[in-house]
């Protein structure tokens, strides 16, 4: 049997979005909401959610345009304000009123945004390789591959491409590389493996829309138990930004993973220990 249950809910503009649910919704422990990166989906959290669901309720959504959620016919809707609206609908649909939010990359920015939109929600936050400032070279690298589909004929080639594209990930077994590839591509009707997101998600980003003051948003977490995780060779979250985050949030718990790039898997032994330390507080 799968360790998760699959559900769908409808957004304010009529899209059908997918999410996975792990564990017991009636658990007395504070539940967990997992928010993936820009083009990622709920599969990225499978190992973490499976472990945490032993005594907690865990919900992992696919954003619009990713995974098993509907693609948006209007690419202008691929932006954080809309994603936050979708998350609010998800929380209403599930009845989740307070949670520890674990956010990877863009998911971490959305977790911070929830501190403004739904301040009573946040019992704790994990920011995975993301901060109020990000490096241009890392964003350019991400944009270069997100906007183009690259079909593969089989999983062997997909795994090889994934290893070549992300050599600094912390995976140490072929099984982990295969799982990551399966969260990146999906077999379509033509029998080929296509990227598992709408390539149009990059269009609003390419328009260079002005972002809010992300440092001001980050400061709203000062009274929230927060863990920041960084890969030491990340090209998205710099060491300087990581250090400033500690200055702005004096109670911030930080973990830097040696030799790991963007992004940590969150099931490294050091990450497991740090996440459990945060959860012990809530």
Burial class from Cβ neighbours inside 10 Å (0-12, 13-18, 19+) for residue 41 reads: buried
- Which tens digits make up the pLDDT trace of 28-42? 999 999 999 999 999
For helices 174-182 and 155-165, angle between their N-to-C axes, nearest 10 degrees:
100
Count of C-beta atoms within a 10 Å radius of residue 71: 15
Under a CB-based contact definition with an 8 Å cutoff, are residues 105 and 139 in contact? no
Q: Is residue 167 part of a domain?
A: no
SS3 for 6?
Answer: strand
Is 204 inside any structural domain?
no
pLDDT band per the 50, 70, 90 thresholds, residue 137: confident
| Number of domains making up the chain | 1
Question: What residues make up the domain containing 225?
Answer: 4-136+212-279
> What span, in angstroms and rounded, lies between the C-alpha atoms of 103 and 108?
4
Residue 191, domain member (yes or no): no
Residue 158 structure tokens = 């997909």
- Give ∠ CA 26-32-35 in degrees, rounded to 5: 140
Tokens standing for 171? 């995976």
In a domain, 229, yes or no: yes
Q: Is residue 164 part of a domain?
A: no
Would you say 226 and 252 are in contact if contact means Cβ atoms under 8 Å apart?
yes
CATH number of the domain within which 222 lies:
3.40.50.1820
Report the pLDDT value the prediction gives residue 62, as an integer from 0 to 100: 98
pLDDT for position 1: 64
HSE at residue 253, side-chain half, CA atoms within 13 A, is 18
* Average pLDDT value for residue range 265-269: 97
Query: Residue 202: inside a domain, yes or no?
Result: no
Q: Quick one: pLDDT at residue 206?
A: 78
Q: What is the pLDDT of residue 210?
A: 72
Is residue 156 one of the residues assigned to a domain? Answer: no
Specify the DSSP class assigned to residue 168.
T
Please compute Rg for the chain using Cα positions: 18
Q: What is the model's pLDDT at position 136?
A: 77
Per-residue pLDDT of 64-103, as tens digits, reads 999 999 999 999 999 999 999 999 999 999 999 999 999 9
Q: Which long-range contacts (CB under 8 A, 24 or more apart) does 137-142 make?
A: 137/235, 138/234, 138/235, 138/236, 138/262, 139/236, 141/235, 142/38, 142/236
pTM, two decimals, is: 0.96
* pLDDT computed for residue 198 by the predictor: 97
- Inform me whether the pLDDT recorded for 2 exceeds 90: no
Q: Is residue 102 part of a domain?
A: yes
Q: Which of these ranges, 23-27, 142-146, 230-234, 262-266, has the smallest mean pLDDT?
A: 142-146
CA dihedral 82, 111, 200, 41 (to 10 degrees): -120
């Amino acid at each position: 049997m799968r360790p998760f249950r699959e559900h769908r809910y409808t957004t304010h503009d009529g899209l059908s979005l997918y999410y996975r649910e792990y564990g017991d919704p009636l658990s007395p422990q504070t539940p967990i909401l997992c928010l993936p990166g820009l083009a990622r989906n709920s599969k990225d959290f499978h190992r973490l959610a499976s472990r945490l669901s032993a005594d907690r309720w865990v919900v992992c959504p696919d954003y619009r345009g990713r995974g098993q959620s509907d693609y948006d016919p209007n690419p202008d809707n691929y932006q954080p304000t809309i994603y936050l609206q979708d998350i609010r609908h998800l929380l209403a649909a599930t009845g989740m009123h307070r949670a520890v939010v674990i956010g990877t990359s863009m998911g971490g920015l959305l977790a911070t945004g929830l501190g403004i939109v739904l301040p009573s929600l946040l019992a704790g936050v994990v920011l995975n390789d993301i901060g109020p400032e990000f490096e241009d070279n890392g964003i350019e690298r991400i944009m270069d591959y997100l906007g183009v589909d690259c079909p593969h004929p089989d999983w062997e080639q997909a795994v090889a491409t994934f290893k070549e594209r992300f050599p600094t990930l912390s995976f140490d077994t072929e099984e982990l590389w295969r799982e990551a590839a399966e969260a990146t591509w999906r077999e379509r009707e033509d029998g080929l493996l296509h990227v598992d997101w709408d390539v149009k998600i990059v269009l609003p980003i390419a328009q260079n829309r002005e972002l809010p003051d992300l440092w001001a948003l980050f400061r709203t977490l000062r009274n929230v138990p927060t863990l920041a995780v960084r890969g030491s060779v990340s090209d998205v979250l710099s060491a300087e930004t990581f250090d400033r985050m500690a200055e702005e949030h004096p109670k911030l718990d930080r973990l830097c993973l040696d030799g790991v790039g963007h992004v940590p898997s969150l099931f490294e032994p050091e990450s497991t220990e740090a996440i459990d330390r945060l959860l012990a507080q809530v």
